[in-house]
């Protein structure tokens, strides 16, 4: 499933085509994805101007001049691609309609934005813009890891006395919004912390060091266009490249990249997810 860097990459790719433009025509080609689309979604979107395109956790939110916001979740295999952009950001003309093109936005600037989702685990919803934080999918989310509300004192307070493994705590969306399995594995490696360590047993210094490390990992992934492991594509259809920079994720049995380390990358299962780490470097 796309994590924060992938969703942010898509948002930035959609921005030139959608922000400030009017949805000249919205087409909804099926009644549902992960759950039913909102009532009269195509009608409510057609003619609306996208005033802002923002991200909250792993969700994209398109604020409209109608007072509503379109919430978009890519799910496991969802892609949003742009064609025909008059600003010259994208090289492709409008492609022929594909089997899993479930929602299509024709913008008044000539761009077309297509949501394609073969596995249909994605979702869209419409909600009041001025009360978007109360939506059930957003209401309990923690602070954004790249935002001002995520800082050393906050993380120390939230992890204090927690008996869960640090890997599990960092994946808790109520503590930090948007972090997923890939980037938690990478951050813990850079911090030298084993994923099995109890969060509450970590020193204050270890927890404080995690904050800039998490930010560095996420910013590097965004700069590389995210990580393309299976289905993920950027808005122009291109792959992300951060997977070529993984230190531990997906590298089970391979040598540790730390200079002079003789260890190999191990994999264990925590809460049904694979954790990759170097037992020599992470304690």
pLDDT band at 239 (very low <50, low <70, confident <90, very high): very low
Tell me whether residue 273 is one of the annotated catalytic residues.
Answer: yes
Whether residue 146 contacts residue 219, with contact meaning beta carbons closer than 8 Å, is answered with yes
Distance between CA atoms of residues 246 and 255, nearest Å:
12
Give 40-55 pLDDT, tens digit per residue: 999 999 999 999 999 9
Choosing from 44, 264, 267, 273, the catalytic residue is 273
Instruction: Look at residue 8 and tell me whether its pLDDT is greater than 70.
Output: yes
pLDDT at 161: 86
Q: 3-class SS at 13?
A: helix
Residue 182's φ and ψ, nearest 5 degrees, are -60, -55
195 an active-site residue? no
Residue with tokens 């909600």: 127
CATH class of 4-134: alpha beta
| pTM for the full predicted model | 0.90
What are the DSSP calls for 93-138, one per residue? PPPPP-TTEEEEEEETTS-EEEEE-SS---EEEEEEGGGGGGSTTT
Instruction: Report d(CA 98, CA 132) in Å as an integer.
Output: 32
Our answer to whether residue 198 is catalytic in this structure is no
**Pairing assessment for the beta strands 112-116 and 59-64 based on DSSP bridges:** unpaired
Pick from 168-172, 216-220, 226-230, 272-276: least confident: 226-230
The structure tokens listed for 78 are 């969802």
- Residues 163-172 have a mean pLDDT of 97
Please state which CATH number belongs to domain 152-278.
Answer: 1.10.8.50
| Tally of CA atoms within 13 A in the half-sphere of 89 that contains its CB | 20
The lowest-confidence range among 22-31, 121-130, 184-193, 221-230 is 221-230
CB environment 140-160: b (16+ within 10 A), e (fewer) = ebbbbbbeeebeeeebbebbe
pLDDT at 103: 98
* Contact predicate 218/245, CB 8 Å: no
Choose the catalytic residue: 11, 58, 158, 190. Answer: 58
Please state the rounded mean pLDDT for residues 45-67.
98
Rounded Cα distance, 50 and 102, in Å: 20
Indicate if 2 belongs to the active site. yes
Percent of the chain with pLDDT over 90: 78
Domain ranges of the chain: 4-134, 152-278
Tell me the average pLDDT across 194-206.
97
Residues 145-173, mean pLDDT to the nearest whole number: 97
pLDDT score for 44: 98
């Amino acid at each position: 499933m796309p994590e924060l860097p992938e969703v942010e990459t898509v948002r930035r790719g959609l921005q030139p085509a959608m922000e400030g433009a009017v949805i000249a025509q919205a087409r909804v080609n099926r009644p549902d994805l992960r759950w039913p689309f909102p009532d009269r979604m195509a009608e409510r979107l057609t003619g609306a101007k996208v005033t802002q395109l923002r991200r909250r956790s792993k969700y994209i939110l398109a604020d409209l001049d109608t007072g509503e916001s379109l919430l978009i979740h890519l799910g496991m295999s969802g892609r949003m691609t742009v064609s025909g952009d008059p600003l010259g950001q994208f090289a492709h003309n409008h492609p022929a309609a594909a089997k899993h093109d479930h929602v299509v936005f024709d913008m008044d600037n000539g761009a077309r934005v297509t949501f394609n989702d073969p596995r249909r685990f994605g979702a869209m919803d419409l909600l009041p813009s001025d009360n978007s934080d109360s939506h059930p999918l957003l209401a309990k989310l923690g602070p954004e890891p790249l935002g001002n509300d995520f800082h050393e004192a906050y993380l120390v307070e939230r992890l204090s006395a927690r008996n869960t493994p640090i890997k599990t705590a960092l994946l808790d969306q109520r503590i930090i919004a948007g972090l997923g399995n890939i980037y938690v594995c990478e951050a813990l490696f850079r911090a030298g912390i084993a994923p099995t360590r109890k969060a509450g047993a970590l020193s204050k210094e270890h927890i404080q060091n995690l904050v800039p490390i998490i930010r560095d990992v996420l910013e590097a992934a965004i700069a590389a266009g995210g990580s393309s492991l299976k289905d993920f594509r950027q808005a122009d259809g291109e792959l992300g490249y951060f997977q070529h920079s993984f230190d531990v994720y997906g590298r089970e049995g391979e040598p540790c990249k730390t200079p002079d380390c003789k260890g190999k990358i191990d994999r264990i299962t925590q809460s049904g997810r694979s954790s990759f780490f170097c037992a020599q470097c992470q304690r």
